[in-house]
Amino acid sequence: MNALEKRLLNDFQRDLPLTPRPFASMAEALGVTEEDVIGGLRTLTERGVVSRVGPVFRPQRCGASSLVAMAVPEDQLEAVAELVNAYPEVNHNYEREHHFNLWFVVTADTEEHLQALVKHIEQQTGLTTLSLPMQAEYHIDLGFPLQWD
């Protein structure tokens, strides 16, 4: 990874500029061009280092969301994970060592859209989902300083 990519990962884990041109604001803070920032983020995304760049809204403040779990046969896990990951409404998809071994968060503009999306995932995979909408809100800051060799 080059120095710019490392700074993008480390310096902008949270508090992205809320401006009409956030990448230009990031570029100014880093002493590079807006095109450099966009290119760096594109490279990080293409290499799979970053899965998405965008806002994270507080749950249920803007649309609807739910944690979803699936019990996926081991030999289908990779294919089902890829299918689930293809939905732009899905994030935080990860494997767990449990009967319910695939967990992800689904967000949508309405509860109806969310339910239709989960149903579509069931139809596409032939597997049942367990939807676990949030009952209580907890804030966990997942940002942390990255150490580079």
Instruction: Please check whether residues 41 and 69 belong to one and the same domain.
Output: no
39/76 same-domain check:
no
Residue 91 lies in a domain: yes
Residue 22 in any domain: the answer is yes
In a domain? residue 144:
no
pLDDT at 143: 73
The number of folded domains in the chain is: 2
- For 23, residues 6+ apart whose C-beta sits below 8 A from its C-beta are 34, 37, 38, 41
Tokens of 94: 């990860």
Provide the domain limits for residue 28. Answer: 3-46
119 and 87 together in one domain: yes
- pLDDT value at residue 41: 96
Chain segment 101-143, per-residue pLDDT in tens: 999 999 899 999 999 999 999 999 999 999 998 877 776 666 7
**DSSP one-letter string for 94-122:** EE-SSSS-EEEEEEESSHHHHHHHHHHHH
Report pLDDT for 59: 62
- Reference 16, options 29, 26, 2, 28; nearest CA is 26
In whole angstroms, what is the distance from residue 40 CA to residue 4 CA? 7
pLDDT mean across residues, the chain: 89
Residues 73 and 122 in one domain: yes
The pair of structure tokens assigned to 56 is 């994270």
Residues 71 and 126 in one domain: yes
pLDDT of residue 60: 65
Q: What is the CATH number of the domain that holds 91?
A: 3.30.70.3460
Burial tier of 8 (Cβ tally within 10 Å: 0-12, 13-18, 19+):
buried
Predicted confidence at residue 57, as pLDDT, reads 65
Per-residue model confidence as pLDDT tens digits over 19-77: 999 999 999 999 999 999 999 999 999 998 887 787 766 666 678 889 999 999 999 99
Residues 81 and 113 occupy one common structural domain: yes
CA distances 120 to 6, 46, 83, 108, 116, Å, are 37, 27, 11, 13, 6
In a domain, 143, yes or no: no
Is there a domain that residue 54 lies in? no
